[in-house]
Amino acid sequence: MSRLVGNAIFGQSGGPTSVINASAAGVITEALKQDCINKVYGAANGIKGILEEKFYDMGMEDPKELDLLKTTPSSALGSVRYKLADPDVDDTDYKRLLEVFKKYDIRYFFYNGGNDSMDTCNKVSKFMQKVGYECRVIGVPKTIDNDLAETDHCPGYGSAARYVATSTMEVYLDARVYDTPMVCVLEVMGRNAGWLTAATALAAYKGLGPDLIYLPEIEFDMDKFIKDAKEVYEKNNGKLIIAVSEGIKDKNGKYISEYGSDLAKEKDAFGHSQLGGTAQVLASVLKKELKCKARAIEFSLLQRCAAHCGSKTDVEESFKAGQLAVKYAVEGYTDYMVAYEREPGSEYKCNFKLVELHKVANTEKKIPREWITENGTGLTQAYIDYALPLIQGESAPPMEDGLPRFAKLKKVLATK
């Protein structure tokens, strides 16, 4: 394929993770090595930063700080939730992107995110092809939700799953110190797919996990929930731990969080409801039904920013995905996403492949029904076998004065 010389730009989008910056480090450090890439830019707040012509010259950063990105949580360049319109309806943003790309001779575009971000990536790629502007576009996957199609798992999931499982085990021990009844309802992130909530089953695998697990893949029935809870509560002499995904819905499609909250009425730019409060709703129900103390615990942002509990496997794979995105683009590939492919067999080995962006954009991968127990309140051994390799290895930031040392970028604004 032809050699393309020009500049590269990288952006982060959607919800942060504890390893999204590992992918950033992979992209940036690899791009800086390529002799066909003259400058490497980092977009401030994703696609919005490009539209607003606000991005950083990554060549001005200290290499040591770029290396620290591997163990620095959140999105170092800033993230965004911005939906590009259908270009056939409104191409204003696309014309602006083209203008900026031409002005800064941007010939490589790397975008790091989940479902909606891959949609953005795909739209930009198709538009550039349509107008005849040569620009190689590669998506770099990310999401603790683990719901991207065409990839075995997603960067960020292993570390978040490790945190969720570990925290669940700690809560389990804490909730059983008294000889009085105690009900705990744990709320884990997950809108339409329950991958992250399923990670609490890893705690159960070690004998320190929830008694009941409720995922968005299974229609939620309040009467069945109360019945399930009462049975376990009585069997366990007043001890009960339940894990729920924030996005569980009833048969009418109503979020359980809506039962006692107005949060779900708020929408973001993609039309998604703001979720939260599911555990509190269910804890209140159980407090009334069981007539005992019921505590609601939301893992909230902690599950996606816990770099101190990161999976080494996750960090290394995320960094490699970023590196390969650049290498594939330089080789001539465009309009693809880097994806993970697990080799069959008992020993875990992850390979990388390219998948077409249109196959990933706005498509969700849910937990296979056969991985959920027949009664819908737990996970089978198949899930345990799938998830355990992803949480292996210790990863944590270096420490200074007993506290983590995260990357400190200078963020020198690019000029033309």
C-alpha distances (whole Å) from 145 to each of 16, 108, 337 are 11, 27, 17
Per the CB < 8 A criterion, the answer to whether 184 and 337 are in contact is no
CA angle 29, 30, 32 (to 5 degrees): 65
CA angle 370, 276, 303 (to 5 degrees): 70
Per the CB < 8 A criterion, the answer to whether 16 and 74 are in contact is yes
Structure tokens at 272: 């998604």
C-alpha distances (whole Å) from 348 to each of 239, 250, 344, 387 are 36, 37, 8, 11
3-class secondary structure, 243: strand
Q: How far apart are CA 393 and CA 367, in angstroms?
A: 24
Q: How far apart are CA 393 and CA 406, in angstroms?
A: 20
SS3 content of the chain, % helix, strand, coil (to 5): 40, 20, 40
C-alpha distances (whole Å) from 3 to each of 33, 107, 133, 331, 401 are 15, 11, 15, 8, 48
Per the CB < 8 A criterion, the answer to whether 171 and 185 are in contact is no
Q: Name residue 104's amino acid.
A: Y
C-alpha distances (whole Å) from 404 to each of 71, 88, 99, 400 are 9, 48, 41, 6
Sheet holding 182-188, edge to edge: 212-214, 239-245, 182-188, 294-298
Q: How far apart are CA 105 and CA 116, in angstroms?
A: 26
Tokens 């129900």 locate to 285
Query: Parallel, antiparallel, or unpaired: how do β-strands 106-113 and 136-141 relate?
Result: parallel
Catalytic residue among 93, 116, 119, 145: 145
Catalytic status, residue 223: no
Q: Name residue 4's amino acid.
A: L
Residues labelled catalytic: 145
